Amino acid sequence: MKARRGAEEKLLRHLLDKVLGLSEAETGGYRHYVFECLARTDLAKAQKWWDKEKAASDRLASNDARNYLHTLQKAQAEQAAASDVDEAISLLSDLDAEEACRPLRKMGERFQATEPTRGLRFAEEAVVKARALPLPNRAWHLAAACDLVVRLGQQLAGRKLL
């Protein structure tokens, strides 16, 4: 079983390297999603890839560069969430409110069963970000964040927020 897992990881790394070596057009616009997978599986390698792409800046459009940077920041925040809530939240501070809501909720859900107080801190920040959004997105993100607050054991607070 261990050998199979190692072979799968080796294949995954090989495929990620090959696809990320292609241009955005050659991947049909899916290169960003491949980078997201790399960032989730090997953050250090994703950082190296991003540094290399920045050096060859003529290959990236400004919007693409922003998307890659935000993907990297989200992955860094996910990694930091286990040890430092404030650091994880600060890593997401460059993202606009719309883009930050989902990762904050995901981190809150991640700690729902094991550390509800840590999860609640992420949910509270998601509420703050959701309130900064225009309607109708404000309503959707606020409802999702409030639902998380309730699932984290703060039923009264969750109802008040709505």
Number of Cβ within a 10 Å radius of residue 122: 28
Q: CA of 42: how far to CAs of 22, 39, 104, 130, in Å?
A: 19, 5, 21, 30
In 2-129, beta strands by DSSP E: none
Report which of residues 158 and 128 the model is more confident about: 128
Which pLDDT value is given to residue 61? 73
Does 32 have pLDDT greater than 80? yes
Q: State the number of CA atoms in the 13 A half-sphere of 48 facing the CB.
A: 6
- Distance CA(82)–CA(45), nearest Å, equals 20
Residue 33 corresponds to which tokens in the numbers above? 């999603």
Query: What is the reported pTM?
Result: 0.86
Give per-residue pLDDT as tens, 71-91.
999 999 999 999 999 999 999
Q: Is the omega angle on the peptide bond into residue 136 within 30 degrees of 0, that is, cis?
A: yes
All structural domains of the chain with their residue ranges = 1-81, 98-162
Residue 60 corresponds to which tokens in the numbers above? 């990236």
Which pLDDT value is given to residue 64? 83
